[in-house]
Structure 1
Amino acid sequence: MRVLPFAPANPAPAPAQRRVMIIANPAAGSLKQRRLNRTLLGLEKLGCTVGLRETAKPGDATLMAREAALAGNVDVVVAAGGDGTINEVANGLAGSGVALGVIPLGTANVLAIEAGIPRDPGKAAQVIATGVLRKLYLGEVRASAETPLAGPRRFVMMAGAGFDAHVVDTVDLALKRKTGKLAYVWCTVQRAFSYDFPLCAVDIDTPDGRTIHADVATAVVCNGKYYGGPFIAAPLADISHPTFQVILLKSPGLRHVARYALALAMGRLPRLPDVEIIEATRVRIALQGAQPLQADGDTVAHMPVDIVMAAEPVSLIVPAPAA
């Protein structure tokens, strides 16, 4: 695939003249590669200057996005992949002022669903070339003295602790590459029989100044409405609003895992009597032992953790409103 040179920097390019850097995972598969190629060609036809960089290992997308932003010769850095790739690129762009574009090629594509970004390559190219900017607030995971991180890790859509994170931490990655979301379904069934369901101790700071404590089986800190695909879990969450919606699943055990999963698929999770959703500005989670925390589908830290909103939002390119 071609890597096109960038034009010299010039102020305020028109939408159809956007300078675009695409960051992609070359191991995504032949079908996804064809979709990526079609999107790249679509961008060229729309007048964009396009470059492509391919990752080789985890963390590359963050470094590449940061380098592109610092170079000052791009208007948009595009994450071509799934939620993990988008997470890495967003981490690299945080605070830079360079816009984030998305070509949804992954398993769940939760941000694309949230923002109305189409999977069709031609339509995705149209959004990147002519779309408008929307604020995307990022969550930020800060580890404690007991479990230090190299630095704050930001997330786009969600962070989860408890059984949710255990499944993400132990899913068979080879099976995930072959079967997509079915790998998580299979892992959930397997782990539910052996997981001992220790309770998460959660402290939630609310916008009105209260602190709420709860001991729950699973806690999911949501930045958007959707979870795991086109399933609405937190109806009041908004990626453009600087607060979280924290989902508390209170009941531990195999039977309740099945009940929660069915309710999520049916769009009824928030209605269950043992599910509570609380608006939050800050969340602290502790769990016995070095249990994992997942963010956007990858393990990013271990307990205990502190979760806040990042200081600055990212500018996300979304479809322009219909005339």
Structure 2
Amino acid sequence: MNPGSDLKFLFIINPGSGTNRQDWPAIISNYFNNLNHTVKIYQLHGDFSRQTVIEQIVSFLPDTVVAVGGDGTIKLIAECLVNTKVPLGIIPAGSANGLAKELDIPEDYEKALNLLVTGVLKKIHLLKINNQICIHLSDIGLNAHAVKKFETLPGRGMWGYIRASLKVLRINPMIKVEIALDNKVIKRKAHMIVVANATRYGSGALINPLGKLDDDLFEVVIVKKISLGELFKMIFSHNPYDSNKTEIFQTTKLTLRSARKVYFQIDGEYIGKVNEVQAMLLPFALEIIVPPAAG
């Protein structure tokens, strides 16, 4: 980005994201007050939709659209920018901010705002999963069930998610699936299966050590057995997984069928119960503003 040029920024704010109730319109206006840029601020309200965002983009014709919210807000706005020349900026304001962490976008809002005018553009791949866009991580089973439970519990933030995970952990049944990859078909029983474009959850847990947002593959992570040892690797040591408990496959397409309907989430948003998941790679479908070191 060129800090000296006159750019048009459209900020889409989700006031319901996260737990930190900042006065985002005031923060954004104050930051850009002495800069040679044009800013429009739109706050999402009630039963908003993708069409709401598209209407704002069409009317303002911004150079950059900035998501102020969590992974769900980012997903909504990214869906409006796929295969356009309008880049996405991110101000992390959600409960977990998984994608922002993946891209080294600072959670400090002043640094994140500064990045919008000093950062670089990075083209990334997306996934199309059951006709929806996925930027980060999608899964079925344990984590998706925790996401659903999290949405029903009072309070937000990481501790809310941890409480939800503990509630579903003891009742989470095994999933029986058949998985068709590029060159093989496998059958497995698992606690959860992750379709991964990126590497880690917003909690910091490294679920996919092979992930890159700009390579030609995505990963399918099969968590066959949950153990303290594997959790320690994911959260702390990042040592190689025990293949008897966790398997990783790389592919460009996926068809997964479950013997029963299972919990399903995309980028931190609970979608519902499904017994089939189809995924494919969308190469270089989105531009995002990132720190120079991550470009």
The TM-score range, normalised by the shorter chain, is: 0.7 to 0.9
Aligned to 2:9: 20
Aligned to 2:167: 190
Aligned to 2:95: 107
Question: Of Structure 1 and Structure 2, which has the larger fraction of its residues in strand?
Answer: 2
Give the 3-state SS of the residue equivalent to 1:305 in structure 2: strand
Structure 1: unaligned runs, 5 residues or longer: 1-11, 143-151
Aligned to 2:30: 41
Residue 272 in structure 1 maps to residue 251 in structure 2: no
Choose the corresponding residue for 2:204, options 210, 223, 230.
Answer: 230
Aligned to 1:87: 75
> Offset of 1:289 from its aligned partner?
2.8
Give the 3-state SS of the residue equivalent to 2:260 in structure 1: coil
Q: Do the aligned partners of 1:192 and 1:257 also contact (CA within 8 Å) in 2? A: no
> 1:180-210 CA deviation, whole Å, 9 max, x = no partner?
12222222222122232232332222xxxx2
Per the normalisation by structure 2, the TM-score is 0.88
Number of residue-to-residue matches in the alignment: 291
Give the 3-state SS of the residue equivalent to 1:304 in structure 2: strand
Cα 1:101/1:163, change in 2 over 3 Å:
same
Residue 241 in structure 1 maps to residue 194 in structure 2: no
Choose the corresponding residue for 1:215, options 176, 179, 188.
Answer: 188
d(CA) in 2 for partners of 1:165, 1:28: 18
Which of 83-92 and 187-196 deviates more?
A: 187-196
Cα 1:54/1:212, change in 2 over 3 Å:
same
**Residue pairs, 1:48-87, within 5 angstroms:** 48-57=37-46, 59-60=48-49, 62-71=50-59, 73-87=61-75
d(CA) in 2 for partners of 1:16, 1:120: 24
d(CA) in 1 for partners of 2:266, 2:54: 20
Which of 97-106 and 19-28 deviates more?
A: 19-28
Give the 3-state SS of the residue equivalent to 2:148 in structure 1: helix
Cα 1:81/1:125, change in 2 over 3 Å:
same
Aligned to 1:117: 105
> 1:138-173 CA deviation, whole Å, 9 max, x = no partner?
11112xxxxxxxxx2101101101222222223244
Which of 264-273 and 220-229 deviates more?
A: 264-273
Which of 105-114 and 300-309 deviates more?
A: 300-309
> 1:244-285 CA deviation, whole Å, 9 max, x = no partner?
12211122xxxx265543332224374223211111111212
Q: Do the aligned partners of 1:36 and 1:121 also contact (CA within 8 Å) in 2? A: no
d(CA) in 2 for partners of 1:137, 1:68: 25
Aligned to 1:289: 260
Q: Do the aligned partners of 1:165 and 1:293 also contact (CA within 8 Å) in 2? A: yes
d(CA) in 2 for partners of 1:135, 1:114: 14
Q: Do the aligned partners of 1:283 and 1:306 also contact (CA within 8 Å) in 2? A: yes
Letter in 1 for 2:193: A
Give the 3-state SS of the residue equivalent to 2:22 in structure 1: helix
> Offset of 1:14 from its aligned partner?
6.3
d(CA) in 2 for partners of 1:289, 1:58: 31
d(CA) in 2 for partners of 1:224, 1:104: 17
Q: Do the aligned partners of 1:69 and 1:96 also contact (CA within 8 Å) in 2? A: no
Letter in 2 for 1:203: A
What's the % identity of the aligned pairs?
Answer: 25
d(CA) in 2 for partners of 1:125, 1:172: 29
Task: Tell me how large the CA RMSD over aligned residues is.
Answer: 2.5
Q: Do the aligned partners of 1:294 and 1:300 also contact (CA within 8 Å) in 2? A: yes
**Residue pairs, 1:297-312, within 5 angstroms:** 297-300=268-271, 302-310=274-282
